Amino acid sequence: MTRQGLGLLLVGLLGTGIGLAAQWPELLIIGLLVLGAVLLALVFGSATSRGEIVLHNTSIEVPRFEAAVVDVEIRTRRRRGLHLEVESDPTPRSHYGLRRVQRTATAALTLPTDRRQVEHHGPVVAVWSDPFGIVRRVLARGDSVELVVTPRRGSIDDDLRTWNPGDDWEAPRSLRRTHLSELLTEYVVGDEPRRIHWRSSARTGKLMVRQRVGTESRDTLVYLDSDPQAWRASARFEDSDSVEQFELGVELATSVVQTLVAAGAQVAFLGESDQFPYFVDRVSAPRFGRKMAEVDLQPAAAISHDSLARALRAHRFRRIIVVTFRPSPSLERVLAERGRSSVIRLVTPMPPQALGNERFPVESVQWIPSAG
C-alpha cells in the first residue's frame, strides 16, 4: 500500500469512528465509502498476476541531444493501470503510452541525452496501480539500459582539416631514425591480454596495454584544456557558464580528431586526467566517442598540465592542436618549454576575441555541430 493509501485508510477509520460516536450519518457514510475503496484496491492488487519485461536494446550510444529510445514489451494479463518506471532516476518517471496487442503491451522509453554520460539506467520495472493510487505493485523487473551519450560531431574548417606544417618541418635529431618503441595506452576491447602491462595498471588503476609503434608515425596531438578558468569568457561568468563552454570545446576536439583520422592522419588525444596519450586510428575511432563521453572539467587546484608535459617529453609530435578558450600561463609555459620541436595551434569554438599572446594566439574555428 502506498502512502496515499495509508492516508485514505486513516481518513476512513477516523470518519467511521467519529460518525458512530457522534451519531453523524453523513460522516459515517463517507468513512465507510473510503474504507470500501481501500478494501477493493487491496483485493484487486493482491489478485494482480506477474508479468515479464523484454528490452529490445539494452545498450544505446547516441550523440548529445539525439533521441535515445528503448523499445519495451510487457507480457502480462493486466490490461489497465500499467506504467513503466526507471528505478535509478531520482524521481521515477512514469510512462503511460502503452499499446496493448492481446497479452503484450509495448512502449517507447525515452532516456535523457542533454549531457554526456556513460551510465546505467534502471532496472526498468512494470508497475500496476489503481486509479486512486492506493495500491502499487511491481509486476515485472527488467534489465538496466546502458546509455552512452557522446559529444556531437560536426564539420570543421578546411584550413584546419588540411593544415600541414610543410616540408620545412624537421624532426629532432633523436627521431630521424625510425625505430620501434613501446607506448602504454588504456586497454580497449580487442587488445591482446598478453600485452597488458600489469605494473602500470596497478599504479594507474586502469588496464594499460603496451603497443609497438614507430616514432615517425606520430603526427598530431590534440590536447583538450580541462581548466575551468580557461572556459570562462570573463570574470563575471559563473561555473555553469564554464561547463557549457567546455561542452562546445569537447565537441570541437572530438570533431577535429575524427576528421583528421578520416583524412588518414596519425592522431593522439590527451586530456588533463589521462596518464598517457590515447592513439586513435580508423579501427579505434568508433570507440573514441565513448572515451569522450567521460571527459570532464578538472578542479582548478588540480590543473598543472603535467600530462601534456609528460607526453611532450616522451614523444615528439609534428603538430599540436590545443582546444581552449583562455589559455593559462602554465599551459603556455609547457608549450614553450616542451613544444619547441612542434608546430602549435590554439583553437576555440567560441567567437574570436583578443585572447592569448603573440606567440600563442587563439584562433576561432568555423565549426558546425551536428548530431551525426
Residue-wise pLDDT tens digits, 50-68: 778 888 888 899 998 898 8
Q: What percent of the chain has pLDDT over 90?
A: 5
Residue 318 reports pLDDT greater than 80: yes
Query: Do residues 202 and 140 share a domain?
Result: no
pLDDT of residue 223: 93
Q: Count CB atoms within 10 A of the CB of residue 27.
A: 18
Beta strands in the chain (DSSP E): 52-55, 59-63, 68-75, 82-86, 99-101, 104-111, 117-121, 124-129, 136-141, 145-150, 153-155, 180-186, 208-214, 220-224, 267-271, 278-280, 319-323, 343-348, 362-364, 368-370
Query: Do residues 136 and 12 share a domain?
Result: no
Query: Do residues 275 and 315 share a domain?
Result: yes
Query: Do residues 146 and 159 share a domain?
Result: no
Query: Do residues 76 and 221 share a domain?
Result: no
Query: Do residues 57 and 39 share a domain?
Result: no
Query: Do residues 113 and 196 share a domain?
Result: no
Which of 150, 178, 212 is a domain's end point? 150
pTM passes above 0.95: no
Which of 93, 120, 150 is a domain's end point? 150
Which of 150, 174, 192 is a domain's end point? 150
Residue 171 reports pLDDT greater than 50: no
Gap between the Cα atoms of 256 and 161, Å rounded? 8
> Of the spans 9-13, 206-210, 238-242, which averages the highest pLDDT?
9-13
Strand pairing report for 52-55 and 68-75: antiparallel
pLDDT of residue 96: 46
Q: Which helix (H) or strand (E) holds 281?
A: none
pLDDT (mean) for 264-278 = 85
Gap between the Cα atoms of 145 and 275, Å rounded? 30
Residue 269 reports pLDDT greater than 90: yes
Report whether 231 contacts 249 (CB < 8 A): yes
Give the number of domains in the chain: 3
When pLDDT is cut at 50, 70 and 90, the band that residue 306 belongs to is confident
pLDDT of residue 149: 93
pLDDT of residue 63: 92
Q: What Rg, from alpha-carbon coordinates, does the chain have?
A: 29
Query: Do residues 188 and 329 share a domain?
Result: yes
Q: What is the domain extent for residue 202?
A: 153-370
Cell of 167: 616540408
Q: Count CB atoms within 10 A of the CB of residue 285.
A: 14
Residue-wise pLDDT tens digits, 183-202: 566 777 667 788 788 887 88
Q: Which helix (H) or strand (E) holds 308?
A: helix 306-314
When pLDDT is cut at 50, 70 and 90, the band that residue 330 belongs to is confident
Query: Do residues 22 and 60 share a domain?
Result: no
pLDDT of residue 358: 54
Looking at per-residue confidence, does 166 or 323 come out higher? 323
pLDDT of residue 328: 83
Q: Which residues pair with 261 in a beta bridge?
A: none
pLDDT of residue 148: 92
Query: Do residues 278 and 167 share a domain?
Result: yes
Query: Do residues 134 and 275 share a domain?
Result: no
Sign of CA dihedral 197, 198, 203, 205: positive
Query: Do residues 237 and 340 share a domain?
Result: yes
